[in-house]
Amino acid sequence: MKHLAKVMIIVIGAGFTSCSPKFYTPNTQNVPLISEKGEINLTLSGNGNQVEFQGAYGIINNFAIKANGGLFIPSDLDNGNGGSGKFFEIGGGYFTPLKNNLVFEAYGILGFGSFENHLPSTTNNNPQTVGDISANVFRVGLQPSFGYKTEHFSVALSSRIVNLSYSNVEGDLIFENVNQPNYLKNNSSNFLIEPALTVRGGFEKIKLQLQYGYSLNLSNSNFRQDHSYLTLGLNFNFK
């Protein structure tokens, strides 16, 4: 069963895969592997719960900017439980081509968005509530990556190191006898490390992209979030 609570980016990450509230899902990482001035990298990706668009541009030698955004729009469950979210992220940073078709890049990233969960199934036991929760999302951090890049194939390892925070928490959702808005307010700041593997293959200017990522919450290992995701997309590269 699938259940959403947040976007990202941005956007701000995968699918919600339980009947419980979830306040974070990691979005697809924007790993452009820019290697020269004037290079443009675009990606459209997603899965059954989300759709995302990413872009990056090499402004000058060794410096690029990037941006990405996404919508999380999974279908509601039969009992009406569900959620949605949106996220946008921008970044800028250093890139350098290395020997043997290797590329290193590191970006500072800043993302923001919002999410909502609606669980009408909880109102049977809590008739004084409507079973909703919503909040704004803010994420800031660093994303280094190291990749191998040729005309028809590329593979990259990246890691998103961020602080994730919430504000404007609203709602009255009670789940398992716990007031979820209070829970989120008490866990409003989280430090995450999110490694990812990105593989692309195809033609010179258009490739199929597959990315798998994992989110490790070092602040609260029991935080209500999804930990892994898998997205498929199309990547476009123009020099």
Domains of the chain: 40-238 (2.40.128)
Q: What is the pLDDT of residue 14?
A: 34
Q: Is the pLDDT of residue 17 over 50?
A: no
Task: Select from 157, 134, 31, 18 the least CA-distant residue to 84.
Answer: 134
For 43-92, the pLDDT digits (tens) are 999 998 899 999 999 999 999 999 999 999 888 888 889 999 999 999 99
Round to whole Å and give the CA distance between 139 and 192: 10
- The answer to whether the beta carbons of residues 66 and 30 sit under 8 Å apart is yes
Average pLDDT score over residue span 162-176: 95
**Gyration radius of the chain's alpha carbons:** 18
d(CA 84, CA 228): 18
What are 36's two structure tokens? 């020269």
**Angstrom distances, CA of residue 214 to CA of 64, 147, 169:** 25, 18, 26
CB atoms within 10 A of CB 235: 24
Would you say residue 5 has pLDDT above 50?
no
Mean pLDDT confidence for 99-108: 97
pTM of the predicted structure, to 2 decimals: 0.88
The letter for the amino acid at 42 is L
- Average pLDDT value for residue range 205-228: 96
- In this prediction, residue 233 carries a pLDDT of 97
Other C-beta atoms closer than 10 Å to the C-beta of 205 total: 11
